[in-house]
Structure 1
Amino acid sequence: MGDVAMTPGHGQHGLLSRAEEQDRLRLLLADARRGRSGLLILRGEPGVGKTALLEEAVTESAGMLVLRATGIEMEAELAFAGLGELVRPLESRVDRLPTLQARALRTALSLEDGEPPDRLTLGAAALTLLTDAAATGPVLVAVDDAHWMDEASARALLFAFRRLQAEGVAVLVTARDGERCLFTEANLPTLTLAGLNPAAAAALVQRVVDVAADSEPFKRLYRETAGNPLALLEAAPALCDSGWAAQEPESPLPVGPRLTAAYATRLAALPEPGRRAVTVAAASFTEDAVVLIEALHALALDAEVLQALEAAKVLNLSGGKVRFVHPLLRSAAYHLAAPELRRESHRVLAGALTDRDGLVDRDQRSWHLAAAAAGPDVTAAAALADTAARARDRGALPAALRAYERAAELTSSQFDQGRYLLAAAEVAQLAGRGDQALVLAEAATNTTDDATVRADAAGLRSQVLLVRQPPRRVHDQLVDMAAGLEATQAVPLLVAAAGAGCMGGAILQARATADRAGALARNGEAVIFDHSAAVLRAHTMMLAGERIDAATVFSSCEQFLTDTDPLSIGIEVTSFSAMDLMWLERFPAARTLLERAVRCARKIGACERLAPYLTVLAETQLRTGYWDDAYALASEGATLAGETGQPVLQAYAISTLARIEAARGRATQCIEHARQFRGLLDSRGADLVSPYIEATLGLLELGTGRESEAAARLDELQQRVRDLGLREPTVLQHQPDLIEANLTAGDRSAAQAALAELLDQVQQAPSAWGHAVSERCRGLVEADEDAYHKALQLHAHLPDPFAKARTDLAYGRFLLRKRKRGAARRPLNAARQVFERLRADPWTAAAEKELRAAGFKTPTRPGHAPVALTERETQVAVLVSKGHTSPEVAAALFLSTKTVEYHLSRIYAKLSVRSRTELAGRLAVNRDHPHE
C-alpha cells in the first residue's frame, strides 16, 4: 500500500491528473487479455501516487487472476518472503511443475528440505508457475514497494518477468526513488510519476480544507510539496492555521522526512498502550494477527488496543492480518520509538514465534533476538549464524551475507567473530561482491589470531584480487603476502599468484611461482594444497610448450578434480584445469569438469565463480563445433563477469563472441566487440588475454578478403607471442591463419618462416590439431598433395569441424590448380556443407565459388542471404531444428512454452518455412555431428 493514504474520502487522490498513466495501465491489461505479456515499473517519490495507480489496475482487472506481493521494510532480511507471498495462491499448482523446478520452489519457500536451488532453476520455476496460471486466463502480477522486497525473491521474479512474452501476464511493479531496487536497475519499461499539476493539487486539497487555488497559503503549500499528493493531504490542515502562511518561506524539504514528521504528530497523540502496541506491530516481520496478539499479551496488552489503533486510522485489521495504512507510518512508528521500546518489541516477538503452538520460525526469531540485543549476545549471534547458513544453502546469498555480518557484530568471542566475518566474506565473493569480500576478509584477519581463519581469509583475498586487478600486479602482491608464512597459508597465495602471472603473460615468473608452491605443498599435510599447486605447475608448463611433461603432472590431479567440490578450491584451479584439458584435446573431460562446476555455482547463485566456468566452457564448445552453444555461454559469461566486476574475464568471454562473429563474417558486431574488449583491458596488463582479439581480427580479415591486413596484424601478434614465451600453439590457434594470410598476400618467404616455426613448436608440443593444421599449411606452402592427405587423416582424431573444413577447402583449391576438377568436388562440397551448417558465410561463399569453378552447380537455397534473426530466435531455431519439442526448448532457454511458440512463428515467417522439418532443412543443421 505504498502510496495510498487511507484517509476518508481520499482513496483516489493519486489518480487526479493521471490520464496518461491510466492509459498505459489499461493498455498493459488489454495486451494481457489478448495473450501478450508486458511489464511496467512505476517509479516516484513517496506519496506521489504509485500505489493508487496499482490499485486502480487491480480494480480494472476483472476476469484476470491477480497475484500480489508487497515489499515490507522489516522483511527485507528474510529470504524468499516476497516470492512466497506472490505465489502462495498458486501452491496447488507447484506439483505440476517439472520435478527440478518444483523441488527448487518448495525448498526456497521452506516447504521441504532439500538441496539449495540454483538461481536459474528457481527463476524458471517462477516463470513456469506464472505461465501455467495464465493457461486458463490472463494474469495480473502486482508488486508494490519492490524496493523493500528481499533480494533473493527479487532476483527470482526478475528472472521470470524478463522472459515473459506471449503468455498473457501483465506485471506492474512500484518502487520508490532513491532506494536501491533490482527492478529499477534492470533497464525495464518504466514510468516515472511526478507531482500533481496545480489545478489537480488544488482539487485534492479542497477535499480536506476550504482554500482557494489562487491563495498565497495554497501556493506556498504547492511549492513546498511539489504537488506530491500524500504530502498535500498531510500538510493541508496547516492551512487553517492563520500564522502558517505568514512564516518566512523555507527551502523545500525531502518528501520522506516531511511525511514522517506529519505522522509523528499523529503517533504522539496516541495513549501510552497504543504507542507500545504500534511499536510492536512496526517491529514485526509478519502481518499475522495471532503472532502480534501473542506478543502483546507478553506486555499485558490485549487485542482491544489494536481496534483502538484502527479507529485512530493507524492500522487496518482484516482477514487475520494487521497492516499499517501506509508504509511510511510504519517506518515512523518504529524509528520514532525509544530504543528500549524497540528492543522490548523484538524481545516479545521472538518469544511469540518461539512458543506459538510449538512452531518456530527460526529465521524471523533470530533477527528479532538480534534486534532485541543491547550489546553482545552469544545466543542471538549463534541463531543468526544458523539463519545465515540456511540462507546460503537455499541460494539466498544476500540474506546470508547480512546475517553473518550481524552475527559478527553480536559476538564477544574473537574466534567466533573471525569465523563469522570469514563466512560473510566467502558469501560476498560467491554473490559477486568482491569489494565487500575484500573488506570482510581483512576484518576477519585483523579480528582473530586463529591460523586457519587467517589462512582462509588470505586465500579468499587472493581469489578476489585475481579477477579484479592487473594480473602482474596481483602476482607480485600475492608473492609478497606469502613471504614468511607457513605452508598452509602460503601455498594458496602462491597458487593464485601463479594463475595471475599466467593471465598477465609473465609465463616464466608464473612457472617459478608454481614450482615454489609445489615444493611447499609437498612438505605440507593438506592434499588440496598439493594438487592445486600441481594444477598450476602443469598449466605454466603447457604455456611454455612443455606439453608432454605438463600432461604427466596433470594426470596426478584428475581424481582430485573429480572428487572435490569446485567451489571449495580456487577459481584458477578449476578454470585452468579445464583449459589444460581443452588444450590437451580431452574435450569430454573438460566439458564434464566445467558442467559440474557450473551446476555447483548455479545451485547457490555464485555469480563470480560462474563467470569463468561459463567462459571456458564456451571456448570448449567453440573448438568442438557447437558455435551456437558457445555463443550463448560466452554471452552469459560476459554479462556475469561485467556484473561482478571481472573485466579480464569479461574480455575473454567477449573474444569468444567476436571469434564466432569473425568466422561468420559479421564484421560490424565483431569490430564492436573488439572495441569493448580493448576498453576492458586498457592498461590492465592482461598480456596473455589481449592477443585473443588480435587473432580474431586476423581471422575476420582473412575470411573477408583482406589478406594483407590479416598478414600484417598476425605477424605483429606472432612477435608479441614470442616475447611472452608462449610456445603452445593450441592456445591462440592463429598460426595457420598467419601462414595462409602471408601466402595469399604474396609473401611466400614469410609464410615459409611461419610454417617452420609452427612445425618446430608442434614437434616439441605434439597435438592432433597442431599436426593436422601444420600438414595443411605444409600443403599450402609446398603444394604437397601428400601433406593434404595426411592432414585429413589427422583431422579424423580432432572434433573441430571448422578446422577440417578449411583443410578440405585448401585441398579442393589445390586440386583445381592441378586441373583435377572432378576430384576437387568432394573436399569442396564437404567444406561447403560444414561452413553452411556453422553459418560461416564468407567461408561458405568461398567454397561455393570454387565449386562453381569445378563445374559443380551449387544448390539453390531460397533466401540464402543472411536473415535478421535475433539472438533469441537463433537459439530457438537451432534447438527446434535439432528435434527438440517446444517444452524442451523452453526448459533449455528458461522461457515459457508460449514464448517459444511465439518466437517460432516469427522464425517461420522470416525464413519462409512452414514446419519444423522445413526449418531443419533451411538451417542445414547436421544432427549427426558428434561432440568428439
Structure 2
Amino acid sequence: MYGEPGIGKSALLEEAVAESAGMTVLRATGIEMEAELAFAGLDELVRPVAGLIGRLPPVQARALRTALSLAEGPAPDQLTLGAATLTLLTDAAATTPVLVAVDDAHWLDEASTHALLFAFRRLQAEAVAVLITARNGEGCRFTEAHLPALTLAGLAPAAAAALVQRVAAIPTDSELFERLHRETAGNPLALLEAARTLRTCAGAAQEPDGPLPVGPRLTAAHAARLATLPEPSRRAATVAAAGYSGEASVLVAALHDLGLDSGALQALEAAKVLDLSGGKVRFVHPLLRAAAYHTAGPEGRREAHRALARALADTNGPANRDQWSWHLAAAAAGPDACAASALGETAARARDRGALPAALRAYERAADLAPLPVDQGRYLLAAAEVAQLAGRGDRALVLADAATRTTDDAAVRAGAAGLRSQILLVRQPPRRVHDQLVDMASGLEAAQAAPLLVAAAGAACMGGAILQARVTADRAFALSRTGETAVFDHSAAVMRAHTMMLAGERREAAAVLGHCEEFLTATDPLSIGVEVTSFSAMDLMWLERFSTARTLLERAVRCARRIGASERLVPYLTVLADTQLRTGYWDDAYASASEGAALAGEIGQPVLQAYAISTLARMEAAQGRAAECLEHARQFRELLRGRGAELVSPYMEAALGLLELGTGKDSEAAARLNDLQQQLVRVGLREPTVLQHQSDLIEACLAAGDASGARATLAELAGQVQQAPSRWGLAVSARCRGLVEADEDAYAEALRHHEQLPDPFAKARTELAYGRFLRRQRKRGAARRPLIAARRTFERLRADPWTALAERELRAAGFETPIRRSPEPFTLTERETQVAALVIKGHTNREVAATLFLSEKTVEYHLRRIYTKLSVRSRVELARCLAIDARRA
C-alpha cells in the first residue's frame, strides 16, 4: 500500500494483523534512524521464527545467521541470503499460514530490503501473504520492484466528517469543515491533528491568511505538541529520537549521562509521545520522532549522540558496536580519527555479513571523518570496492577517482587503478578500455602494471582485437616474471594462453596451460581470480581436454554453490554449459545455460548473460526451435548493443546460421555464415574450434549451389587444422572434403577421428553425409547403417530437422521401418528444465530449491507440472523420458 504520510497505511495494516487469527504474523517496521543498521528490519521480521533457521540447508542457515549477527562467518551472498529468507518463510508456513507485515518500508535498511524482495518475488505456491506500506515519492525499492500495489487516497467528505466528529464538534456543513477537508485533501491524520488544534486554538481558524496546521506541515504540528512539554522531557525525547535500537536500558543510561532520570520517559509516555511497553522505547508516530530530533538543533542532536555513544561504549556484540560507531560519527562536529576508525570497523563487519549498502555508507562516512589524507584515500577505495560488489559501478568509479585525488599513497592508487579497470571492462567499448588500461600501466612498477595489462588483454579479446590482445598479454606475462623471485603469475599465464588459442597458436597455448594445470587442479577456485578458472577451462575445452575442463568447472560450481558466490557461479555455469553442449550432454547444457543466464540477469552481467543465451540458441537451432532461437537472438542483441563485444556476438550468428541450415534456408545460411567468416578474419580469430561454424558454411554453400565458396572455405579450414590439429578439425575437415570432392575415403577418415571425439551431434552429421553419399552411389544397403546411427543420435538429442533429414534419406534408401518418437521434453519452460535436470540426478526437492534459489513449494509446483506435461509419474520415468543417465552427478 502506498500513500502520503497520515493517509492510513499503518491503520489498515493493523486492521489486517487484527484479522489474522490462525496465522503466524511476522512484522517489521522501517525506522528512519535505523536505516543505516544492516539487517535491522530482517532481524525484527524473522525473530519469531528464528528457531527454524537450523532446519535450513547449511549454506542458507550460515548466511542467515551471519547476516543477523547470530554467528560469525564469511560475507553471505545476496542470492543465498534471499533464498534463505524465502526458505525460512515457506518453512514457517508449512503448518500455519504466514502473514508478513512490513510498515514504513521506505525506511527499511537496504540489506533487509534486498533479502525480502528476493523472497517476495519468488512466492508462488506457498501459504504466505505479504502486506507492505510505504510512502509515495521516497524511492522505496519495493515500489521499484513493481509488486501488486494499492495507492490510498484521502477520505471522501462523508467519511472525513465522521472521523472529525470523534475529536471536535465542528459542524460538517460549515465553511470551516469545507476548508478543513480541502486543505487536508481528506488525509485522516491531518484531519485529526487539525481538528484537535482547532479545538484548543479556535482563533487559528479565524486568521484570514493563516494556514491550518495540516498537510505537509504535519511535522510542525508535532513539534508544537512537543513544545508544550518541560525542558527535561524535550531533551529526553531528543535522545530517544537519536537512538537506533530503542533499547530502554541504553536510553536510560544515556539520560543518566546527561543528568536526567527515567521520570522524563514516563512523562513522555503520559503525554502520549512514547510507548515504553516490552522493554522498548517507541514513538507513537514516526513524525513525532522526526520532530523531536530535527527541532533540537545541531548541538542538541550531537549532545544526544554523545550520550548514547558513552552508554554503548562498554557493551559487547557487533550490533552494539555498530550503533556506537554511528553515534560517534553523528556526534562529531569535524574530522574525528576515533569515529572514522570505528566506522571503518563497522563497514568491514557489514561487508563480511553481505550488507553491502550499509558497508558503503559507513566507509564513505569514515572517509569524511578521517583527518589524514592517506586514511581518507583508503576508506574511499574500500567504499569503491564495496560499491562495485554491490553492482554500483558508476558510484565505484566516482569513489575510486576521489581516492586517487585524495592521496598519493601507492597502494591506494594501484588499487583504484585495478578497480577502475574491472569496471570499465564491462561498461565501455572494450578496445577503448584496452587503450586506457595500457596508458594507466605505463610508468607503474611491475607488480602494479601486470594486473592492469591482464585486464587490458581481456578487454582487447572481447573487442575482437586479438593480435593486440596477444601483444598486451605477452607484456603482462613478462612483467609477472620479473623480480628476484620471478614468480610465475598464473593470471598472466592463463591470459597469454587464451590469446594464443584465439590467434591459432594451439600448441603454444597447450604448453603454457600445462605449466598451470597442477596449480589449477590443486587450488580452491574461489581463492583465485575468476578469469583464471574461466579462461583456462575455456581453453581446455577448445584443446578438447573435456574431462579436465569439466572437472575444473564442476568443482568450481560446487564451491560457488557451497558459499553462495553467485558472481563466481555465473561464469562457471556459462563455460560449463558450452562444454556440456560440445560433449553431447544437451539437457545438462540447457539447464546450466538457463541458470547462468537467469543469474547473470539478476546481478547485472550482460556479456555473460549473452554468452549463456547464445548457448541456449545453439541448442534450439540444432533442434529446430526457431521461435525460441530467434527470441534469444533478440535478447542477445539487446544485451550487447553498444558494448562492442565483437568476440561474443559471433556466437549468435553461428547459431542462427545453423538454424537456417537445418531448416532448409540454405542461401540465407550461406550468406550469414560467410559474413561471419569475414568478420572473424578481420578480428584475427584463427582457431576453428572456438565457433565451429566453418563446416556449416561449407554445407550451406554446397546446398545453395556455391561450390567455389565451399572449396575456398574448406581450403582455409584445412590449412588451419594442418597448422594446429584438433580431433574436431580433423573430423569435420575430412567430412567436408568428402562433401566437396565426393571422396568415400574422406568419410571413413572422418569417422575414425569421431571415435576419439565425444561430440555425438558432429559424428551424426558425418554419418548422415556419408549415408547420403553411399545412397547416391547406389549403395543403398551400405547407406542404411550410418543413416540409422545418425537418426538414432539426432532423435536422442531431439534435433528434429536433422532427424527428418536422416529419415528422408532412409526412405530413399528403401528403409521403411516405422520411426519411434521419444517424448518432447522441451514443452518445458527453462525453469522446469533446470528443475528436471537436477531432480533426475538424485537431488531432493530441498536441494533443488537451495541450488536454484527457490522455495521447496515452488520446486514441488514445477515438478507437478513437469510430470503432467511429460505424462510420467516418477523420477525414474522422468530420467528415462529425458534420456539422461540419472546416476551422473
| Structure 1 residue 715, shift from structure 2 partner | 0.8
Residues 1:270 and 2:229 are matched in the alignment: yes
Aligned length: 886
| Structure 1 residue 470, shift from structure 2 partner | 0.4
How does the TM-score come out when normalised to structure 1? 0.88
Partner of 1:761: 720
Residues 1:82 and 2:12 are matched in the alignment: no
1:295-334, aligned counterparts within 5 Å?
A: 295-334=254-293
Q: Which moved more, 1:551-560 or 1:56-65?
A: 551-560
Q: Deviations over 1:358-406 (max 9, x none)?
A: 9982222222222222222222222221222222222222222222212
Residues 1:746 and 2:716 are matched in the alignment: no
CA distance in 1, matches of 2:487, 2:120: 42
Q: Which moved more, 1:415-424 or 1:509-518?
A: 509-518
Describe the SS at the equivalent of 2:690.
coil
Q: Deviations over 1:187-245 (max 9, x none)?
A: 33222333333333333233333345554443443343333322332333455545547
| Structure 1 residue 796, shift from structure 2 partner | 3.8
Partner of 1:482: 441
Rate the CA distance shift 1:277–1:242 in 2: closer, same or farther, 3 A: closer
Q: Deviations over 1:423-473 (max 9, x none)?
A: 111111122111111111111111122112211111111111011100111
Partner of 1:195: 154
CA distance in 2, matches of 1:351, 1:603: 41
2:815 pairs, out of 825, 831, 855, with 855
Q: Which moved more, 1:573-582 or 1:441-450?
A: 573-582
| Structure 1 residue 545, shift from structure 2 partner | 0.5
1:838-917, aligned counterparts within 5 Å?
A: 838-853=797-812, 855-861=815-821, 864=823, 868-917=827-876
Rate the CA distance shift 1:155–1:471 in 2: closer, same or farther, 3 A: same
1:766-785, aligned counterparts within 5 Å?
A: 766-785=725-744
CA distance in 2, matches of 1:556, 1:211: 89
Partner of 1:703: 662
Partner of 2:421: 462
CA distance in 1, matches of 2:603, 2:234: 45
Whether the aligned pair in 2 keeps the contact of 1:434 and 1:644 (CA below 8 Å) is: no
Partner of 2:370: 411
| Structure 1 residue 546, shift from structure 2 partner | 0.7
Rate the CA distance shift 1:650–1:872 in 2: closer, same or farther, 3 A: closer
Rate the CA distance shift 1:209–1:686 in 2: closer, same or farther, 3 A: same
1:676 pairs, out of 635, 639, 645, with 635
Partner of 2:407: 448
1:550 pairs, out of 509, 520, 526, with 509
Rate the CA distance shift 1:733–1:291 in 2: closer, same or farther, 3 A: same
1:205-220, aligned counterparts within 5 Å?
A: 205-213=164-172, 215-220=174-179
Describe the SS at the equivalent of 1:47.
coil
Whether the aligned pair in 2 keeps the contact of 1:463 and 1:571 (CA below 8 Å) is: no
2:188 pairs, out of 218, 229, 244, with 229
Whether the aligned pair in 2 keeps the contact of 1:395 and 1:603 (CA below 8 Å) is: no
Residues 1:97 and 2:56 are matched in the alignment: yes
Q: Deviations over 1:628-662 (max 9, x none)?
A: 44445444544555566654444333323332332
One-letter amino acid of the structure 2 residue matched with residue 855 of structure 1: F
Rate the CA distance shift 1:855–1:254 in 2: closer, same or farther, 3 A: farther
Rate the CA distance shift 1:260–1:790 in 2: closer, same or farther, 3 A: farther
| Structure 1 residue 561, shift from structure 2 partner | 4.8
Q: Which moved more, 1:601-610 or 1:117-126?
A: 601-610
Q: Which moved more, 1:519-528 or 1:577-586?
A: 519-528
CA distance in 2, matches of 1:437, 1:286: 30
Whether the aligned pair in 1 keeps the contact of 2:662 and 2:802 (CA below 8 Å) is: yes
Describe the SS at the equivalent of 2:276.
strand
Identity %: 76
| Structure 1 residue 62, shift from structure 2 partner | 0.9
Structure 2's unaligned 5+ residue stretches are: none
| Structure 1 residue 124, shift from structure 2 partner | 2.8
Whether the aligned pair in 1 keeps the contact of 2:315 and 2:321 (CA below 8 Å) is: no
Q: Which moved more, 1:545-554 or 1:156-165?
A: 156-165
Describe the SS at the equivalent of 2:817.
coil
Rate the CA distance shift 1:122–1:453 in 2: closer, same or farther, 3 A: same
CA distance in 2, matches of 1:811, 1:835: 15
CA distance in 2, matches of 1:690, 1:65: 51
Describe the SS at the equivalent of 1:66.
strand
CA distance in 2, matches of 1:708, 1:282: 74
One-letter amino acid of the structure 2 residue matched with residue 67 of structure 1: L
Rate the CA distance shift 1:278–1:528 in 2: closer, same or farther, 3 A: farther
Partner of 2:29: 70
Whether the aligned pair in 2 keeps the contact of 1:217 and 1:245 (CA below 8 Å) is: no
One-letter amino acid of the structure 2 residue matched with residue 101 of structure 1: Q
Residues 1:652 and 2:611 are matched in the alignment: yes
CA distance in 2, matches of 1:691, 1:494: 25
CA distance in 2, matches of 1:565, 1:204: 66
1:726 pairs, out of 667, 685, 703, with 685
Describe the SS at the equivalent of 1:579.
helix
Whether the aligned pair in 1 keeps the contact of 2:373 and 2:406 (CA below 8 Å) is: yes
Structure 1's unaligned 5+ residue stretches are: 1-41
Q: Deviations over 1:704-744 (max 9, x none)?
A: 22111111110111111111111111222211211111122
Pairwise CA RMSD? 3.1
One-letter amino acid of the structure 2 residue matched with residue 908 of structure 1: Y
Q: Deviations over 1:603-649 (max 9, x none)?
A: 88776665544433443343334444444544454455556665444
Rate the CA distance shift 1:284–1:238 in 2: closer, same or farther, 3 A: closer
CA distance in 2, matches of 1:94, 1:816: 67
Q: After TM superposition, which residue ranges in structure 1, 4 or more long, deviate above 6 angstroms?
A: 357-360, 525-529, 563-569, 599-607
CA distance in 2, matches of 1:358, 1:673: 50
One-letter amino acid of the structure 2 residue matched with residue 735 of structure 1: Q
CA distance in 1, matches of 2:522, 2:841: 34
Partner of 2:310: 351
Partner of 1:157: 116
Residues 1:377 and 2:336 are matched in the alignment: yes
CA distance in 1, matches of 2:387, 2:703: 53
| Structure 1 residue 750, shift from structure 2 partner | 1.6
CA distance in 1, matches of 2:533, 2:324: 39
Residues 1:395 and 2:342 are matched in the alignment: no
How does the TM-score come out when normalised to structure 2? 0.92
Partner of 1:541: 500
Whether the aligned pair in 1 keeps the contact of 2:591 and 2:837 (CA below 8 Å) is: no
1:365 pairs, out of 324, 329, 341, with 324
Residues 1:532 and 2:501 are matched in the alignment: no
1:596-607, aligned counterparts within 5 Å?
A: none
CA distance in 2, matches of 1:526, 1:146: 56
CA distance in 2, matches of 1:259, 1:564: 61
CA distance in 1, matches of 2:690, 2:723: 15
Whether the aligned pair in 2 keeps the contact of 1:431 and 1:608 (CA below 8 Å) is: no
Partner of 1:28: none
CA distance in 1, matches of 2:185, 2:767: 73
1:144 pairs, out of 103, 107, 116, with 103
Describe the SS at the equivalent of 1:556.
helix
CA distance in 2, matches of 1:393, 1:819: 72
CA distance in 1, matches of 2:826, 2:471: 52
Q: Deviations over 1:239-279 (max 9, x none)?
A: 554554764598x9996x43222222222222211121112
Describe the SS at the equivalent of 2:313.
helix
Residues 1:133 and 2:124 are matched in the alignment: no
Whether the aligned pair in 2 keeps the contact of 1:619 and 1:656 (CA below 8 Å) is: yes
Whether the aligned pair in 1 keeps the contact of 2:183 and 2:214 (CA below 8 Å) is: no
CA distance in 1, matches of 2:486, 2:89: 48
